[in-house]
Structure 1
Amino acid sequence: MDKLGRNDACWCGSGQKYKKCHAEIDERMESYMAKGYPTPSRNLLKTKPQIDQIKESGKINITVLDFVGSHIAAGITTAEIDRLVFNKTKELGGRPATLNYKGYPKSVCTSINDQVCHGIPSEKTFLKDGDIINVDVSTEYHGYFSDSSRMYCIGNVSSEKKRLVQVAKECMELGIQQVRPWGFLGDIGQAINDHAKQNGYSVVREIGGHGIGLQFHEDPWVSHVSKAGTGMLLVPGLIFTVEPMINMGTAKIFIDKKDDWSVYTADGKPSAQWENMVLVTTDGCEVLTY
């Protein structure tokens, strides 16, 4: 870290003196670095103006998910969901961040039953009574990014699937409860994995959460099967997603070779996922996509 005088302008651009802004945080980070703990670089710590803009993106993101929730039902296609997301996002002044991202062809990911994530909307895929579906919306607004997803139960869903959906939500919430300054990313994965296992489920290992805000995907990568006390130090200003994928059966997955995107459970059993974006604050965390 570049050394600043206590009366110098803070490196974050706040206009405040360093001693009134990031000095205490930097000193604490340096003490952890000296002990060998992995710490985030300054460019991963969002400033207040950046946080304000990321929150605006998040407002669009959850408004779009609310809009989807008011229209989703048996009989509609996942392509119709894609159009709902595209049109509503544009109406609100944003852009679907997934559209053309690394070649992804649609404005949203729609993952049904044994699809774990990254399901591609299609005119041929109709929602049926008894389905569970994850709708994953990602938004870019004035250069700032947000990302969250929800599960929707379509019609008469079995008690087994409903329980999976509920426990998946609990896993996400328990993970978020572990987000606090000077904790570790590993604390999140431990809480999630413990709760999933206690309920007889497994957690996908290969796909995790990610930093977000100035780019769609940033560091850090967030494991949902990690060990408490390990991983990157959680420092105020860090923003990332918590998005565990909870499987009814095995944790093993595969990617559909036909589209190179859609991820499925290896045993064909259902999977459920919820996702929220969180900000590490000086006294806990703030969920930016509720």
Structure 2
Amino acid sequence: MIVLKTSRELAIMREACRISAKALKLAGEAVEPGVSTWEIDRVVRRAIEEEGGKPNFLGYGGFPGSACVSVNDVVIHGIPHKEIILKEGDIVSIDTGAFYEGFNGDNAYTFPCGDVSEEAKRLMDVTRESLFEGIKAAQAGARIGDIGSAVQRYVEARGYSVVRDFVGHGVGAKLHEDPSVPNYGTPGRGVRLLPGMTIAIEPMINAGVKEVKTLKDGWTTVTADGKLSAHFEHTIAITPDGPVIMTLPE
């Protein structure tokens, strides 16, 4: 069931999104060689709790961290660990979420660790821009397929592949709500976008094949061919005047 938010609910949700965006920004500033992914997770938890929120990933489905910290070929759901130490040239996808007064915010960004290769820079640039292509397509009256199609066209025209096994989603009182928001699709197909809908658009883009596999821990998902992956995400609100990004950093 798709839940349309009232103006009051959107105001609260904006605060959850602000907190999540602040945590993500601080996490990105902590990315540097020699830092563990566990330390980054601590930055995220502290930032969210200091703002009166709760890390909505912590314990979600049994997930042990406050953030997903995914390095290089890890697509999503990287478990923070003291023994995973960042090194020069890594790319680090960080996904954070905050729960505040009954509502959730959710966002992600892929950060370079020091100087990264031109290949990595291009992958990050294309993935980030594909997110904004998807957001531009998220107009009231359009359909979910318009979003996915916009992302897919942009990415595949540049030689990259779109992960199919994981998609974006509605966000609200629950972290994951209807509708699903794939990063691929057919224009004019799928659920119609209405004012009051709030969704997370989150392209997960691979440098090689689109296939992924989940490791034995049940969470960590990597590219099937070991090549790099990038992940960007914003929570947006559908309004009569166009999509509004609620997780822009201050």
Q: TM-score, normalised by structure 1?
A: 0.84
> CA offsets per residue over residues 103-162 of structure 1, 9 Å max, x none?
111100001110000000000100000000101001101111000011110111000010
**DSSP 3-state at the match of 1:229:** coil
> CA offsets per residue over residues 27-65 of structure 1, 9 Å max, x none?
xxxxxxxxxxxxxx5x61101110000001111111111
The one of 143, 147, 163 equivalent to 1:184 is 143
Q: What is aligned with 1:77?
A: 36
Structure 2: distance between partners of 1:63 and 1:197: 31
Q: What is aligned with 2:133?
A: 174
Question: Is 2:101 aligned against 1:142?
Answer: yes
Q: Counterparts in 2 of 1:98-117, with a 5 A limit? A: 98-117=57-76
Amino acid at match of 2:19: I
Aligned-residue CA RMSD in angstroms? 0.8
Amino acid at match of 2:221: V
Question: Is 2:201 aligned against 1:204?
Answer: no
The one of 225, 238, 241 equivalent to 1:280 is 238
Q: What is aligned with 2:226?
A: 268
The one of 92, 95, 101 equivalent to 2:54 is 95
Structure 1: distance between partners of 2:28 and 2:130: 21
> CA offsets per residue over residues 260-290 of structure 1, 9 Å max, x none?
0011000000000100011000121101001
The unaligned stretches of length 5 or more in structure 1 are: 1-40
Structure 1: distance between partners of 2:205 and 2:73: 11
Q: Which has the larger radius of gyration?
A: 1
Shift of 1:97: 0.2
Question: Is 2:198 aligned against 1:239?
Answer: yes
- Which one has more relative contact order, counting CA pairs under 8 Å at least 6 apart? 2
**DSSP 3-state at the match of 1:195:** helix
Question: Is 2:119 aligned against 1:160?
Answer: yes
> CA offsets per residue over residues 149-198 of structure 1, 9 Å max, x none?
11110111000010000000011010000011110000011111111111
Aligned pair count reads: 248
